[in-house]
């Protein structure tokens, strides 16, 4: 089940706060729009007050490293606010071991079969990983990665149903063949291998030979990020 949008009739996004966070990161409105998967006009409207509501508020806040409450003017503290139910780490911040980085786990239902809608998602936990172990795997910063669970069996035996994966959203350009990618295909999310074709198409490959591969053309598929780690219970 996906999280319902937080917005109510009285929730109004503060455009100047979005603009301020963009300036701190050195990002343009277009860059934020690409990271979220919306048009630049959508962000422009929020920043300039032409629109003051959006179903993408949670994702905007995450990309800008802040909270929904801050962007709505409910708090002046830009630090992300995590409810107790969201934390996998139950101890106080001082109890987090040295050399550990906390990575958000998102309930976005990336499918390894036919796909599932992931426009809205819920952060369900913060998972600790060793900082020095994780650093060589990532293409950007620790803020660019998240943990998710695969669904379905189309990537067996590489990825089993409910396996945990780490996805690096800083790696979006498909430059090496047959790597594992988290993809947006229309409004469907999936984890697949990708092989670029001479005619410009992208062959979307399932490791399970019982699942048919297909070719996407003309921007039908966008890379959300590269799968950089797979884990499972034994």
151 and 197 fall within a common domain: yes
pLDDT of 121 reads 56
Eight-state DSSP code of residue 205: E
**CATH classification of the domain holding 55:** 1.10.260.40
- pLDDT, residue 96, reads 54
- Laid out side by side, the sheet with 188-196 consists of 122-130, 100-107, 145-149, 164-168, 221-231, 180-185, 188-196, 202-205, 214-216
Which domain CATH number covers 209? 2.10.109.10
Q: Give the SS3 label for residue 125.
A: strand
Question: What local confidence, expressed as pLDDT, does residue 1 receive?
Answer: 37
Could you tell me if 99 and 152 lie in one domain?
Answer: yes
Domain interval for residue 48? 15-71
By C-alpha distance, which of 41, 184, 38 is closest to 115? 184
**Are 118 and 25 contained in the same domain?**
no
Structure-model confidence comparison of residues 182 and 193, the more confident one: 193
119 in the same domain as 24:
no
Give the predicted TM-score (pTM) of the model: 0.57
Residues 62 and 130 in one domain: no
Query: Is residue 60 in some structural domain?
Result: yes
- Distance of CA 68 to CAs 64, 97, 116, Å? 10, 28, 24
Average pLDDT over residues 189-210: 91
Is residue 59 included in any domain, yes or no? yes
């Amino acid at each position: 089940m996906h999280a319902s949008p937080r917005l109510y009739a009285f929730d109004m996004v503060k455009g100047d706060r979005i603009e301020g966070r963009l300036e701190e990161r050195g990002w343009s409105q277009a860059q934020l729009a690409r990271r979220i998967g919306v048009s630049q006009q959508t962000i422009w409207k929020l920043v300039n007050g032409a629109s003051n509501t959006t179903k993408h508020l949670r994702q905007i806040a995450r990309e800008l490293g802040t909270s929904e409450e801050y962007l709505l003017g409910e708090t002046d503290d830009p630090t992300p606010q995590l409810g107790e139910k969201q934390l996998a780490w139950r101890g106080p911040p001082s109890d987090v071991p040295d050399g550990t980085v906390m990575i958000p786990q998102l309930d976005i239902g990336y499918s390894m079969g036919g796909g599932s809608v992931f426009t809205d998602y819920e952060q369900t936990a913060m998972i600790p990983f060793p900082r020095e172990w994780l650093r060589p795997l990532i293409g950007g910063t620790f803020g660019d990665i998240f943990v998710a669970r695969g669904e379905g069996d189309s990537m067996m035996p590489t990825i089993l149903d409910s396996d945990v994966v780490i996805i690096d959203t800083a790696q979006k350009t498909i430059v090496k063949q047959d790597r594992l990618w988290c993809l947006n295909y229309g409004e469907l999310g999936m984890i697949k291998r990708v092989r670029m074709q001479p005619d410009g198409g992208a062959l979307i490959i399932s490791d399970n030979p019982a699942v048919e591969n297909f070719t996407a053309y003309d921007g039908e598929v966008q890379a959300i990020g590269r799968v950089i780690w797979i884990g499972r219970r034994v």
